[in-house]
Structure 1
Amino acid sequence: MARLFGTDGVRGPAGTVLTAELALRLGRCAVEALPGGDGDAPRTGRSGGPVQVLVVRDTRASGPMLEAALAAGAAAAGADVHLAGVLPTPAAALLVDRLGFDLAAVVSASHNPWADNGIKLFGPDGRKLPDAGEARVAELVASDAPLPARGTVGRVAPLLGATEDHLRALDERFGDLDLAGRRIALDCANGATFRVAPEAFRRRGAEVVVLADAPDGRNINAGAGSTHPDAVSRAVLEHGCDLGFAFDGDGDRVLAVDGTGRAWDGDELLALMALHLRATGRLAGGVAVTVMSNYGFHGAMRDAGIPVVATPVGDRHVMAALDERGWNLGGEQSGHLIETGFVPSGDGVAAALLTCEALGSDALADRAAMRRLPQVLVNVPVADRDGAMADADLAAAVAAADAALEGEGRVLVRASGTEQLVRVMAEAPTEDRARAVVDALVAAVPGRR
């Protein structure tokens, strides 16, 4: 069996790769992988009774099918399953801890097209299962050995009021934020934020212009959301908004647009947040970002005296770095922005509200916290990505290019985690210089196809 868990859970085309049968087995094995239980007795949860499982999904057409299969598998292992329906992914990370669940599962493929779907698992602390936990679930899923007959089955029931629980948590965190007099555009990507995001901003007094808030199962992320910021940019200009935000399909990412229509990526928003939290005495230590973070972010934090640590790509790596250091802020250029004082997960709605808090009465266009360097990225198809990355001549070329840009920019050459590609990226003071560096490095990649 191919590797089950990727960088963000199990994901693939619904009905072919991610089937109902796989979802059922995942639900059962996720419960069986939990500690506790003896012999044929079901696992016990932290309350001392049956394991309690929370299930959240986005708006994809395949969501109800996979939700039902996942719930059936967990119930077959003796767990009680609570179906919260359509909610952003970070709501699962928040509620699994607040409401005392033992496990949360999110049925979503994030920013992927509607035909894909996925399953992410969260532990009782609201964090995604660590690698060891995912490996144990994957081992059980792949095993030919029969799973134990538990002798009892759990219950499956709707969890009423989960949307209000999420909104109440946002109210608690941002209760002092007053957005009266501000007109804000929100692109909900026809996804999981379509109810929560507009209501959260209206409760702060904002006049809200909402787009892509009519999910039909097949229009999630279609020409909308954080992967298509032009849509919210047009809405900001058309309706004279002060700013706008675009979420992805499951609501754990956000990008912003200022009043002039310019898009702000996760690095720029994170820099703004870091300076704000430091100024208000709420920044614990420094900021964790990934290796894809723009060089301009590092320069801005260096000038501000804020430590930065770079991790491999993926919000789980960012979260691990924050936990290791006791820091509370991190994120990715793509818009996964984590402020652990609220939830240990990227939360698009919370990040958008924190951006507004950082701005106060200022316009986003006037509050640039960093200068984003031009970035050029080329994906190079190769016959053997690992062999290419081990090539001594390529390593020497990378080192020379990096040394030439020292203090002005940087280069990053890495293998794709999922495809036979080598990703070549350079950042420099001008786009022409960045492109020249990338072109030279692409020519040095062995085994190009």
Structure 2
Amino acid sequence: MSRKYFGTDGVRGKVGEFPINPSFAMKLGWAAGTVLASAGTKEVIIGKDTRISGYMIETAMQAGFSAAGINCALVGPMPTPAIAYLTSTFRADAGVVISASHNPYYDNGIKLFSNSGTKLNDAQELEIEHLLEQAINHGAMTCVDSAKLGKVRRIGDAAGRYIEFCKGTFDKNKSLTGLKIVVDSANGAAYHIAKEVYAELGAEVISINDSPDGLNINERCGATHLDSLQTAVMVYEADLGIALDGDADRVMFVDHNGHIIDGDEIIFILAQAFKISGELEGGVVGTLMSNLGLEIALKEMDIPFVRAKVGDRYVVEQLKETGWQLGGEGSGHILSLKHTTTGDGIVASLQVLDAIIESGKSLAEVKSGMTKLPQVLINVKLKADNADEIIASDAVQASVSAAETFMGERGRVLLRKSGTELLIRVMVESTCAEMTQTQAQTIADAVKLAG
């Protein structure tokens, strides 16, 4: 069974076009509800980010779940990692997140997970896919008897509970008093949460991009657009800046000089701190995109490092396989399984702040032990969904081979297709910035011609 409609990472797309529309959302709610009900599920928690389509999709999914006899508990705009936590806290049987993460407002997505914060098992996913396909193509959607319809309730104190959870991951013997922090919530799901967490721990907080209107989520702000945060840090003479993305599972920093601290550097900071404190278990998991500078810095500290495929779920799988606890991506997905079961931007940021306080150094100083190698990433847009064919083409492979031969041990090349967009990502990394840019552009040009 091919995952045409729904799979491990849920479904994501442009709202108003298949598959993200009210009819699809209702049918997915019914299909998922039917499968979950057969396993004993009685209630699901539904959360969303701040994009305008979330209201429509939330209502449609409620109808589908209700038709399958599943109760729904609504928590409103809430970070993706908060849904994982709240699903367990409120003893719900499953969680639903309506979010397109760092994507623009006109996209949206739906993701389901168990009450342990993990993906549904393969058998459940296949059965949901089967029922969804029947509902879409054959009108097979049914409804339980009226007396068995699911009910809907709203949880009013969800935000407060999650704030307390985040604070609980920070050393209770420490405080953020004396730190001036600029917080950029990307006009997203953490707009009413992130600033409260840092302030309640004692920091002086300047909050920006915390006024969502349904359309401005991730718009020139947040973890994917750091210009406004850099400016604010310098204007307010802050100690550092913290940027989350639309659903707050990513985090990026800006130091007091306005320099960006990305996910690779965050992982280095945490690995270094955990190593010093004796809390590091095993090594660190990065991805194929992790900067070579991270690998070199970890090696100098005798910390093992392995690379997983790109995507936080692959990092989680590798962490579980190795029994390690720390990993992540340069994009800001940071996983510290000691503190949470999933990538959580706020929780990860608190661990960085803990490392700063413990060391008595600035953010710039604690990350100075790692030097990033020049890395260029070029996204090549495609006209059709044929990324695999293009990457495997003779012309593209020849350009990759030529670049690898030219750079030798001084660099590396990675080509991969995007999981959410019609893109091929061309990444080149080497010891020389000019060489890196030249080789990346040459390969990108070959990809364009092949497309």
Same fold (TM over 0.5): yes
Alpha carbons of 1:414 and 1:63: their partners in 2 closer, same or farther (altered >3 Å)?
Answer: closer
Counting only pairs closer than 5 Å after superposition, residues 200-215 of structure 1 correspond to structure 2 as: 200-215=197-212
Residue 435 of structure 1 is matched in structure 2 by 437
Structure 2 residue 40 is the aligned partner of structure 1 residue 44: yes
Unaligned ranges ≥5, structure 1: 38-42, 46-50
Counting only pairs closer than 5 Å after superposition, residues 176-255 of structure 1 correspond to structure 2 as: 176-255=173-252
C-alpha separation between the residues in 2 aligned to 1:442 and 1:76? 49
Residue 377 of structure 2 is matched in structure 1 by 377
C-alpha separation between the residues in 2 aligned to 1:10 and 1:58? 15
Which of 86, 90, 106 pairs up with 1:99? 90
Alpha carbons of 1:242 and 1:414: their partners in 2 closer, same or farther (altered >3 Å)?
Answer: same
- 1:253 CA drift (Å): 0.7
Alpha carbons of 1:205 and 1:303: their partners in 2 closer, same or farther (altered >3 Å)?
Answer: same
Aligned letter for 1:105? V
Residue 168 of structure 1 is matched in structure 2 by 164
Q: Once structures 1 and 2 are overlaid, which stretch shifts more, 368-377 or 345-354?
A: 368-377
Alpha carbons of 1:447 and 1:437: their partners in 2 closer, same or farther (altered >3 Å)?
Answer: closer
SS at match of 1:270: helix
Aligned letter for 1:430? C
Counting only pairs closer than 5 Å after superposition, residues 31-180 of structure 1 correspond to structure 2 as: 31-34=33-36, 37=38, 43-45=39-41, 51-129=42-120, 133-143=124-134, 144=138, 146-147=140-141, 149-151=143-145, 152-174=148-170, 175-180=172-177
Aligned residues of 1:7 and 1:314 also touching (Cα < 8 A): no
Aligned residues of 2:393 and 2:450 also touching (Cα < 8 A): no
- Identity, in percent, stands at 40
Query: What is the root-mean-square deviation of aligned Cα atoms in Å?
Result: 2.4
Q: Once structures 1 and 2 are overlaid, which stretch shifts more, 311-320 or 417-426?
A: 417-426
Per-residue CA shift, 1:309-359, capped at 9, x if unaligned?
212221111111112222211111111111112222111111111110111
SS at match of 2:435: helix
Residue 3 of structure 1 is matched in structure 2 by 4
- 1:141 CA drift (Å): 1.0
The size of the alignment, in residue pairs, is: 438
Alpha carbons of 1:67 and 1:420: their partners in 2 closer, same or farther (altered >3 Å)?
Answer: closer
C-alpha separation between the residues in 2 aligned to 1:221 and 1:7? 24
Which consecutive segments of 4 or more residues in structure 1 shift more than 6 A?
A: none
- 1:425 CA drift (Å): 1.7
Query: Taking structure 2 as the reference length, what is the TM-score of the superposition?
Result: 0.90
C-alpha separation between the residues in 1 aligned to 2:165 and 2:422? 43
Aligned letter for 1:66? I
Aligned residues of 1:221 and 1:248 also touching (Cα < 8 A): yes
Per-residue CA shift, 1:336-394, capped at 9, x if unaligned?
11111222211111111111011113111112242111112234456743233334565
Alpha carbons of 1:443 and 1:108: their partners in 2 closer, same or farther (altered >3 Å)?
Answer: closer
Q: Once structures 1 and 2 are overlaid, which stretch shifts more, 105-114 or 383-392?
A: 383-392
C-alpha separation between the residues in 2 aligned to 1:81 and 1:387? 43
Aligned letter for 1:54? I
Aligned letter for 2:377? L
Aligned residues of 1:11 and 1:109 also touching (Cα < 8 A): yes
Which of 3, 25, 28 pairs up with 1:26? 28
C-alpha separation between the residues in 1 aligned to 2:222 and 2:363? 19
SS at match of 2:307: strand
Residue 40 of structure 1 is matched in structure 2 by none
C-alpha separation between the residues in 2 aligned to 1:290 and 1:270? 12
C-alpha separation between the residues in 2 aligned to 1:264 and 1:137? 40
C-alpha separation between the residues in 1 aligned to 2:437 and 2:122? 37
Aligned letter for 2:4? R
Alpha carbons of 1:270 and 1:443: their partners in 2 closer, same or farther (altered >3 Å)?
Answer: same
Residue 363 of structure 2 is matched in structure 1 by 364
- 1:407 CA drift (Å): 4.4
Aligned letter for 2:265? E
Q: Once structures 1 and 2 are overlaid, which stretch shifts more, 372-381 or 227-236?
A: 372-381
Per-residue CA shift, 1:95-117, capped at 9, x if unaligned?
22233221100111111111222
Alpha carbons of 1:225 and 1:422: their partners in 2 closer, same or farther (altered >3 Å)?
Answer: closer
- 1:436 CA drift (Å): 2.8
Residue 321 of structure 1 is matched in structure 2 by 318
- 1:188 CA drift (Å): 0.8
Residue 331 of structure 1 is matched in structure 2 by 328
Per-residue CA shift, 1:170-214, capped at 9, x if unaligned?
122113331101100000111111111011001110000000111
SS at match of 2:223: coil
- 1:13 CA drift (Å): 2.3
Residue 307 of structure 2 is matched in structure 1 by 310
- 1:446 CA drift (Å): 8.8
C-alpha separation between the residues in 2 aligned to 1:444 and 1:63? 39
Alpha carbons of 1:440 and 1:282: their partners in 2 closer, same or farther (altered >3 Å)?
Answer: same
Q: Once structures 1 and 2 are overlaid, which stretch shifts more, 234-243 or 107-116?
A: 107-116
Alpha carbons of 1:6 and 1:301: their partners in 2 closer, same or farther (altered >3 Å)?
Answer: farther
Aligned letter for 1:3? K
Per-residue CA shift, 1:384-432, capped at 9, x if unaligned?
4323333456546535643654543321123444566543221111210
Unaligned ranges ≥5, structure 2: none
C-alpha separation between the residues in 2 aligned to 1:390 and 1:116? 29
Residue 15 of structure 1 is matched in structure 2 by 16
The structure with the largest helix share of the pair is 2
Aligned letter for 1:128? K
Q: Once structures 1 and 2 are overlaid, which stretch shifts more, 351-360 or 11-20?
A: 11-20
Aligned residues of 2:97 and 2:111 also touching (Cα < 8 A): yes
Aligned residues of 1:107 and 1:118 also touching (Cα < 8 A): yes
Aligned residues of 2:287 and 2:310 also touching (Cα < 8 A): yes
SS at match of 1:186: strand
Counting only pairs closer than 5 Å after superposition, residues 243-282 of structure 1 correspond to structure 2 as: 243-282=240-279
Alpha carbons of 1:414 and 1:32: their partners in 2 closer, same or farther (altered >3 Å)?
Answer: same
Alpha carbons of 1:285 and 1:6: their partners in 2 closer, same or farther (altered >3 Å)?
Answer: same
Per-residue CA shift, 1:222-268, capped at 9, x if unaligned?
12111110111111000010000111111111110000011111111
C-alpha separation between the residues in 2 aligned to 1:308 and 1:437? 26
Structure 2 residue 282 is the aligned partner of structure 1 residue 285: yes
